[in-house]
Structure 1
Amino acid sequence: MPEPPAHAFRAAAEAAPVRGFDRVAWCYDVLAGAVFGPAQRRAQLVALAGLPATAGPHVLILGGGTGWVLTEVLRRRPQATVLYLEASPNMLARARRRLASHCPAAAPQVEFRHGTQAALLPPESFDAVITFFVLDCIAAPELDAALNQLRQAQRPGAPWLVADFRPARRGWRHWLLVAMYAFFRLTTGLRARQLPDVRAELTQRGLRPAQEQRFFGQAIEAGIYVEQG
């Protein structure tokens, strides 16, 4: 039986409407800054140090939000080509506007695509995978499939750059996570209920942290994950 064409996979992946963080796109950056100060961006900057040194890497940014990460990637690697994959159309629109404002000449190097990791096409592969504060939004029953899809999209030797919250079972970090998940369930319909142990999940998939750093009282972690060996 012949394999369906690539556009059929994309159509199937996008058949269900995906809205993501549409309701909070207008205030997300301000809200994050008010709660975490510069900690989130500092974590992302540490992880971005792991971008491949090649002049024009092909980069996947999953859940990049309003586009700050995109412009930072292009600042560091001006010749990079980027697939910007975002579940919120409003976030996607803001990222487009940010690119047009900050890096207009790089517009041909960026593909903006609405969707989650499910919108990746089977042949697509990347020199770097970036997931900043997005794996925590994936519901537990979907996590294995999502991580496997992203892992398959890594080219040999490609780093997986991560910045995200760390699991906590007690103390103020635990209650911070409880409050965040409750807020986003109410405002965005987020289906995730608990934070995955990203380090353990990536280790199980043959990756190891080549570099790690923690922020905001150990609540946030940045990591550069590479193939074990």
Structure 2
Amino acid sequence: MTQSSGGLSKLPPGAASLTGFDRVAWCYDALTRLVFGKALQKAQRAALAGLPPGAPHVLILGGGTGWVLTEVLRRRPNATVLYLEASPKMLGRAQTRLARQLPQAASQVEFRHGTQAALGPAERFDVLVTFFVLDCIATTEMDTALAQLRAAQRPEAPWLLADFRPASRGWRRLLLRAMYRFFRLTTGLRADALVDFRRALGGLGLRPVSSSTFFAGAVEAVIFNEKRI
């Protein structure tokens, strides 16, 4: 497997705004730590408990600067990974992080610029990893995006999710509004509301088999798998 950015793939309508995260790539990790402390990494670690054993073929969508990539490879040293990221600068930082921390794993990772729309029709994975990325997809585009990801799952492959939880009132609702406003202003993000991912993935035949919450319930880690017939 080659370690390559794959060029600048054509992004689907509405997804080009995700390249706006180039503007915050330099400070994104520090910013999330400032606001959330270690809560987001704790949620991601909890979800990664669902990684299949052995040498799984892993899809990481929207992994940002690459912390989750190195975490996956430390847990599954023989895994192969497609790292799919819409921000070229985030992608570059992830490549640099891997080269610095786990250079021996370079041949196991393909870095590809794009979104779920950049997946090939025959590509299938043993596990999907979507951490704090689905919240960046506009609600009008969510059904298509989730269907594209679902089509890339092999039978019984888990879908590992870490993301924010919807809130209709209180401080969590204010937090979500503030985050969406901030990222609209800084990155041009089109999304402005959070989808109920449990309901959305349930409609695609998936069920939560494990879950935990963090940051006083604002963040959730969920392991999904196919519903039993």
Match of 1:196 in 2: 195
User: Deviation string for 1:135-186 (max 9, x for gaps)?
Assistant: 0000011000000000000000100000000000100000000000000000
Distance 1:214 1:199 in 2: 14
8 Å CA contact 1:20–1:87 kept in 2: the answer is: no
Distance 2:93 2:155 in 1: 32
Partner secondary structure for residue 49 of structure 1: helix
Match of 1:165 in 2: 164
Match of 1:23 in 2: 23
Match of 2:184 in 1: 185
Letter aligned with residue 29 of structure 2 = D
8 Å CA contact 2:124–2:153 kept in 1: the answer is: yes
Letter aligned with residue 49 of structure 1 = A
Change beyond 3 A, Cα 1:94–1:193: same
Match of 2:47 in 1: 47
Q: How does 1:38-77 map to 2 (within 5 A)?
A: 38-53=38-53, 55-77=54-76
Distance 2:12 2:195 in 1: 25
Larger RCO (CA within 8 A; separation ≥ 6): 2
Letter aligned with residue 27 of structure 1 = C
Partner secondary structure for residue 21 of structure 1: helix
8 Å CA contact 1:63–1:87 kept in 2: the answer is: yes
Distance 2:20 2:224 in 1: 26
User: Deviation string for 1:83-132 (max 9, x for gaps)?
Assistant: 00001000000000000011101001000000111111101010000000
Distance 1:161 1:202 in 2: 11
Distance 1:227 1:37 in 2: 33
Partner secondary structure for residue 19 of structure 2: coil
* Structure 1 alignment gaps of length 5 or more: 1-9
C-alpha deviation, 1:56, in angstroms: 1.0
Distance 1:14 1:100 in 2: 29
C-alpha deviation, 1:222, in angstroms: 0.1
TM-score, normalised relative to structure 1: 0.93
Partner secondary structure for residue 135 of structure 2: helix
Q: How does 1:1-229 map to 2 (within 5 A)?
A: 13=11, 19-53=19-53, 55-229=54-228
Distance 2:12 2:58 in 1: 21
Which segments of structure 1 move beyond 4 Å, counting only runs of 4 or more? Answer: 10-18
Q: Which moved more, 1:17-26 or 1:121-130?
A: 17-26
* Structure 2 alignment gaps of length 5 or more: 1-7
TM-score, normalised relative to structure 2: 0.93
C-alpha deviation, 1:19, in angstroms: 1.3
Partner secondary structure for residue 177 of structure 1: helix
Distance 1:11 1:169 in 2: 37
